[in-house]
Amino acid sequence: MALTRQKKSTPPPPKPGWAVYLRTSGDENQKPELSRERQRTMIQMSLLDSSDLPIYGEYIDVLTGKDPRRKAYQRMLSDARAGKFSHVVVERADRFGRDDTEALRAIDELQSFGIAVRFANAPDLDPIDPDGRVLVALTFTLARRESALMGIRVKGGLKAKRQSGGYAGRAPDGYLNVRGQTELDKRSAMGRISHWIEPDPKRAHIWREAWALLLTRSMSLSDIAEALSAKGYCYRNGKPFVVVSKTGKRKPLIDILRRAFQDWTYAGWVVSECDDIAPKTIRGNWEPLVSTEDFEVGLAILEQLHGSDETAA
């Protein structure tokens, strides 16, 4: 019996047109909309104005180039496989990606579909040409190096901030992250924009009440969760303090509550294991929601309650 060979599906020839890929990082200090507009301008002036090809569309990501799972990036590759455009343009190579292996693989895949990749900062550079490929690979390598150096600088900046009494990271429930212009006499040390935390006027009272309940010494964590739930309170993420099943069974969610009672931030102290900052060594520059004395009493009460509360799932 003769065997029939299945032909491998051949992708359709690409339709003439440009796919514009724009990417910015998720850094909160960056303004993605301004970066995208700058990228558009360079792409338009360097390549699109001198091309007769139509623009198929834009693909926009706000995510690090080290992650190939970017949604718009993957959608662009999918549309490329469907032959929806003949050219892809980015501002520069590291906008396409910072993982050189993945980026070069994607460029080769696009080329196999008959799709060319071009860079606005080097319009004549062809990543398929041997010499051009060396330059593109070097660009990816330098971008990866810059990313690593940026990580080192960020970690150093966070450590310096903590050592000076600042809070680094997302504020705990009951506080708000705030940013604003730095005072002129402090800009040389802190930069133009300062970040700090302060009590959340809508939620700080919930955690003050939670500590007051703990310090009565008469309530378990489940009891405290029930008391807070009875007042209509919930966690910042929207989860209730007590979950009620369809059958009416009540389940207090006490894990977040327990972690909050162990967080020295609420007592106004900077604590960081990675920076070797122990409790009660660096006072934070924010308003505490509970005194240090009451916080330490609360820790002792938690030790006594250990094992008496059911573990929340």
Beta carbons of 275 and 246 less than 8 angstroms apart: no
Dist. CA 14–CA 159, nearest whole Å: 51
pLDDT at 126: 86
pLDDT at 310: 46
Q: Is the pLDDT of residue 9 over 70?
A: no
pLDDT at 41: 93
Q: Which of 275, 278, 273, 268 is nearest to 175 (CA)?
A: 268
Considering only residues 48 and 100, tell me which one the structure prediction assigns the higher pLDDT.
48
Sorting pLDDT into bands at 50, 70 and 90, what band is 100?
Answer: low
Mean pLDDT of the 93-119 span:
82
pLDDT at 188: 46
Dist. CA 68–CA 77, nearest whole Å: 11
Dist. CA 181–CA 175, nearest whole Å: 20
pLDDT at 183: 60
For residue 196, the cross-strand partners are 178
Burial class (CB in 10 A: 0-12, 13-18, 19+), 81: middle
Mean pLDDT of the 276-305 span:
94
- What dotted CATH number matches 167-313? 3.90.1750.20
Sorting pLDDT into bands at 50, 70 and 90, what band is 187?
Answer: very low
pLDDT at 300: 95
Sorting pLDDT into bands at 50, 70 and 90, what band is 34?
Answer: confident
pLDDT at 165: 92
Superfamily for 18-144?
Resolvase, N-terminal catalytic domain (3.40.50.1390)
Q: Is the pLDDT of residue 88 over 50?
A: yes
Dist. CA 17–CA 23, nearest whole Å: 20
**What percentage of residues in the chain have a pLDDT greater than 90?**
54
Per-residue pLDDT tens digits for 250-280: 999 999 999 999 999 999 999 998 889 999 9
Considering only residues 274 and 192, tell me which one the structure prediction assigns the higher pLDDT.
274
Mean pLDDT of the 72-96 span:
90
pLDDT at 143: 67
Mean residue pLDDT across the chain: 85
pLDDT at 122: 87
Q: Is the pLDDT of residue 248 over 60?
A: yes
pLDDT at 288: 97
pLDDT at 179: 86
Q: Is the dihedral of CA 99, 88, 57, 91 positive or negative?
A: positive
Delimit the domains of the chain by residue range.
18-144, 167-313
